[in-house]
């Protein structure tokens, strides 16, 4: 059980980094720092959004619009971090001998 929770924690940590990459790429495209029409940017963006969309889609449907700024990745990161803290502080702590 403990190993399963640790694997879940690592998976959630990786997913947080994917969401951070989605946020950074979104900001770079919106502020004009990189060109969204470049092939490499298009491929990276498509892959990241394919991986992050299952979590971001329901969050986007619940959140109101913030003047064109997408805050759903930030909300998802905060929620995942809260889940990781609950696992680390309460669940794994109960499993320690």
What is the residue range of 43's domain?
2-95
What is the predicted pLDDT for the residue at 87? 86
Give residue 5's pLDDT: 85
Whole-number pLDDT of residue 97: 63
The total of structural domains in the chain comes to: 1
Angle between helices 2-30 and 72-86 (to 10 degrees): 160
Q: Is 16 within 8 Å of 80 (Cβ atoms)? A: yes
Which residues of the chain fall short of a pLDDT of 70?
Answer: 96-97
């Amino acid at each position: 059980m403990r190993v399963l929770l640790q694997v879940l924690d690592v998976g959630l940590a990786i997913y947080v980094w994917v969401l951070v990459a989605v946020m950074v790429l979104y900001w770079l495209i919106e502020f004009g720092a990189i060109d969204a029409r470049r092939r490499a940017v298009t491929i990276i963006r498509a892959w990241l959004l394919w991986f992050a969309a299952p979590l971001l889609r329901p969050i986007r449907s619940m959140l109101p619009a913030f003047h064109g700024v997408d805050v759903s990745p930030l909300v998802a990161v905060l929620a995942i971090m809260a889940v990781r803290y609950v696992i680390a502080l309460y669940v794994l702590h109960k499993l320690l001998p």
